Amino acid sequence: MATGTSATDARREAPIGVFDSGLGGLSVLRELARRLPEERFLYVADSAHCPYGSKTAAEIVARACALTDFLLARGAKLIVVACNTATIAAVEYLRASYSVSFVGMEPAVKPAVAATRTGVVGVLATAATLAGDKLQRLIERHADSVRVLTQPAPGLPERVEAGELDTPQTRRLVERYTAPLLAAGADVIVLGSTHYPFLAPLIRSVVGPGVRLLDTGEAVARRVAAVLEQEDLRNREGRGGIEFFTSGPVAHLETIGSRLWGAPIAGSALPASAKL
């Protein structure tokens, strides 16, 4: 540590860790980088293990711990679980097991209930997110007299990982998953996976302009800023910067990831210990 630099200064300059089952969390990272441009970020795409949506809670917890260990070894001062599925399955375990703070995703049920005019809200999410009682409790807490319909949407994260944001196959899946919500009169659809915001233009073209789509990226970035303030960890003078890692092929992260990110990404492979 340089002379005159306190331990707290060094801690403030440490990066924020962000992970997802794959590239979906880039939709959250975008909001984080926008709100906190002075901060450094480490992003991990667990693409070798995507999708999490069809895994058991125990499998997801194991992956979340491996990625957390990697991010902490790289000095992360706070970790963002940029994945609804991993948040539902693992965030309580992570909080009980590590001393660093975790910020997770929460599907935008509350703002959706406030926004609906028809009194019907749809929630698209992975099977694993819908399996636990956590989302159900969130719905019970906020629904009031609004009907909140949940719809599993398997296959969509894989289409995003493949960069197929507007292929006939992706469109067919979106049509299949949104049809029951539209038939029930939903005028707000919650994007309950961080992969889905990349499909928002396609979903919009399927559901039409009368249906609002809500995701949680911006709210999570606000929450991260607030936690950094509370913990006196906010870096106000840094120059920013993002390092990208993947458990899958680096070429996949660099090609598809760059397309989703909207700028070239240089990626690195996770060490073997974090890949298994």
The binding site for ligand DGL (CB under 6 A) comprises 20-21, 24, 50-53, 83-85, 126, 129, 157, 193-195
Between 14 and 203, whose beta carbon lies closer to ligand DGL?
Answer: 203
Distance CA(77)–CA(229), nearest Å, equals 13
Between 14 and 105, whose beta carbon lies closer to ligand DGL?
Answer: 105
Between 16 and 23, whose beta carbon lies closer to ligand DGL?
Answer: 23
Between 55 and 77, whose beta carbon lies closer to ligand DGL?
Answer: 55
Q: In the complex, what is the shortest distance from the CB of residue 185 to ligand DGL, in angstroms, rounded to a whole number?
A: 26
Residue facing ligand DGL at closest CB distance: 53
Q: In the complex, what is the shortest distance from the CB of residue 274 to ligand DGL, in angstroms, rounded to a whole number?
A: 17
Q: In the complex, what is the shortest distance from the CB of residue 34 to ligand DGL, in angstroms, rounded to a whole number?
A: 19
Q: In the complex, what is the shortest distance from the CB of residue 112 to ligand DGL, in angstroms, rounded to a whole number?
A: 16
Q: In the complex, what is the shortest distance from the CB of residue 117 to ligand DGL, in angstroms, rounded to a whole number?
A: 27
Between 123 and 148, whose beta carbon lies closer to ligand DGL?
Answer: 123
